[in-house]
Copies of this chain bind each other. A is one copy, B any other.
Amino acid sequence: MPNESDSLPPGPLSNPGANATADQIAEIEEARARMAETRRVVAPGLEEVLYTAFPVLDHGFVRVVDYMGDDAAVVQAARVSYGRGTKSVRNDAGLIRYLLRHRHTTPFEMCEIKLHVKLPVFVARQWIRHRTANVNEYSARYSVLDREFYIPAPEHLAAQSAANRQGRGDVLEGDEAARVLQLLRDDAAACYDHYEEMLNEGPDGAPADPGRQGLARELARMNLPLNVYTQWYWKTDLHNLLHFLSLRADAHAQYEIRAYADVMLALTERWVPITAQAFRDYSMGAVSLSAPALAAVRRMIAGETVTQEDSGLSAREWREMMAALER
């Protein structure tokens, strides 16, 4: 895939295939080589990277396996709904921006994307809370998980924030960082060794140790830690994808899921560039002002001096508003 990496935007979409196995790379190459004719709409930017595995974290990846529709499909659906009324909006980009700004979400449900994702189990547990999606996960009841665990890069080894129960503080350093990495690595290795021992499966399906039976896979897996990697096919529509990104490509999201969301956002930009730009303007960079906050802003613009006390906002809301206003 070296020829693709040239055209990739800098940042999240780089180093394709880095976390894929040799088998997967061969399979991906083969799939990418097949071209067929279709009457369906085609998103050229996404076709370029179809099937390609983009690395996330130390062993994970995201790759687009299939898609339906593009920016024009959003417009087409909106014009079915709003009929002649939509012709007054001058162009497709204007219509898409109008729809997103005014929460007319159903036309965005008319595009669909299917991803193959490899991710640590504790990330999968956050992700699955988004219920409006279709999922097929690799089953550890039926199959054996690989010996792959997420070990954070040193720069992501964050301390607990003292100010904020859900946030991260400074990065751990020196001995403390080394000790944490050692514990994570050793416990993962020991747990996996024992998982294999309990399974007692030889390479050919026969018992590794013929004197023992081997514990059922559905039980043995319980010894694996939450940073073990799993994988799934995940399929959703564009509206729900944007909702996922608005929560997970956000500074409040845990770094490990944000790393996936960042790659997904870059893929979304290849797929539906107009929608992705509107999403950046109206959703990611937007701020919601409550009724009392809006009243305070109006007074500020009029030149009044406004204080937290006379704003009717709580101290916390005041801080949040002033942060948004960069004051």
* Chain B contacts for A290, CB-based, 8 A: 101, 281-282, 285-286
* Chain B contacts for A212, CB-based, 8 A: 176
Q: Which of A94-140 contact B (CB under 8 A)?
A: 94, 97-98, 101, 103, 106-107, 109-110, 112, 114, 116, 120-122, 124-125, 128-129, 131-132, 134-139
Is A210 close to B, CB under 8 A?
no
Q: Which of the four size classes fits the interface of chain A?
A: 35 or more
Is A288 close to B, CB under 8 A?
yes
Q: A143-B82, A215-B159 are in contact. Are A223 and B183 (CB under 8 A)?
A: yes
* Chain B contacts for A254, CB-based, 8 A: 141, 218
Q: A50-B39, A280-B291, A290-B281 are in contact. Are A213 and B159 (CB under 8 A)?
A: yes
* Chain B contacts for A114, CB-based, 8 A: 68-69, 110
Binary interface encoding of chain A residues 219-243 relative to chain B, with 1 for a CB under 8 A from any of its CBs, else 0: 1011111110001110101000000
- A213–B170 touching, CB < 8 Å: yes
* Chain B contacts for A215, CB-based, 8 A: 157-160, 172, 180
- B288–A294 touching, CB < 8 Å: no
Q: Give Cα A101 to B251, complex, Å.
A: 16
The chain B residue with its CB closest to the CB of A128 is: B128
Min CB distance, A196 to chain B, in Å?
Answer: 11
9 contacts between A and B (CB under 8 A): A39-B47, A83-B143, A125-B125, A152-B219, A176-B212, A180-B198, A187-B191, A281-B292, A301-B301
* Chain B contacts for A101, CB-based, 8 A: 290, 317, 320
Is A41 close to B, CB under 8 A?
yes
- Please classify the interface of chain A as helix (H, G, I), strand (E, B), loop, or mixed, using the class held by over half of its residues: mixed
Q: Which of B35, B223, B227, B300 meets A38, CB within 8 Å?
A: B35
Binary interface encoding of chain A residues 188-212 relative to chain B, with 1 for a CB under 8 A from any of its CBs, else 0: 0011001001110100000000001
* Chain B contacts for A183, CB-based, 8 A: 194, 197-198, 223
In order of increasing CB-CB distance, the 9 nearest A-B pairs are A285-B291, A83-B143, A85-B142, A109-B134, A222-B227, A159-B213, A85-B165, A68-B68, A131-B131
Q: Which of B81, B135, B231 meets A137, CB within 8 Å?
A: B81
Q: Which of A50-96 contact B (CB under 8 A)?
A: 50-51, 66-69, 73, 76-78, 80-86, 88, 94
* Chain B contacts for A36, CB-based, 8 A: 37-42
